[in-house]
Amino acid sequence: MTSEINPKITAFLNDLWITDGLAENSLAAYRRDLENAEKILQKPIETADKKDIEEVFAQLSDAGKSTASRARARAALNRFFRFLNKQKIRQDNPVEHIARAKIRRKLPTLMTESEVLTLLNAPDLSEPLGFRDRTVLEILYSSGLRISEACNLTVAQVRKSEDCLHILGKGGKERIVPMNEFASNFLYAYLEKSRPALLGKKKSDFVFINRRGGQMSRQEFFERIKKYALHAGLNPEKISPHTLRHAFASHLLAGGADLRSVQMLLGHADIATTQIYTHIADARLKDFFQKNHPRA
């Protein structure tokens, strides 16, 4: 990850990569935000003072940038100046006393248990790809995986004796996630029959294979889950692989699981990220009350 404009931005991104192990997409977002701030100010970002940073946010607002985009830019600038402090290049942080943009978090789409079941039953199990897709859907809902984690899952990460998966998540963080009986049965049957049919004479370490014997991509499965949603009578605009991860978490909490356990299963670094699902459970309870109480 390099910056052709400012070597200090390059040094900052390299430090992030080494110390935090941030993914390439995250590093690219930091670079864009910092270089965009330089374009606005027409000077090296490390020389900016508080008024300069306020000007950056004013222009982002005038350009119609969303609250989330401005919050991300603030986070990038804040971490950059903290890096300069650590390197003793600067002693102050001009971002520190600028108020954070308040983000109204959008609640994820909530699927009911019956909707999940309808979606799970959509693939054609007589086809190797259909059996693969059913297995992926079962794994996403059973274990709360990100679709990227499912795509990158290797055979060596499947712990058959324990019915669990050894997952390498964001930033290379490891976690062990269990599978329910439905998911494990589909996975073992897929590994025994459908996967060899898809592989043919090819070899691969990856669990989920495409029709050409290569690694299944996120985009491929994203398109296929939309097709299954449509087939199941669900709104394809509201269904994605991540929707099943949301369903996994919200259904666990509705069933009595504690927040900390759900955090560990999801691989969230901060429990505040997991707390969004308590709001979903509260909203669902309120909706149930409104529909069923005689005086609601």
What are the residue numbers of the active site?
Answer: 146, 170, 242, 245, 268, 277
**Phi, psi for residue 281 in degrees, rounded to 5:** -60, -40
Count of helices and strands (H, E) across the chain: 14, 3
Q: Which residues contact 88 (CB under 8 A, 6 or more apart)?
A: none
In one-letter notation, the amino acid at residue 214 is G
Query: DSSP string covering 84-139, please?
Result: HHHTTS-S--TTTTSPPPPP-PPPPPPPPHHHHHHHHT-S-TTSHHHHHHHHHHHH
Beta strands in 10-113 (DSSP E): none
**Phi, psi for residue 178 in degrees, rounded to 5:** -80, 165
Partners of 215 in beta bridges: 209
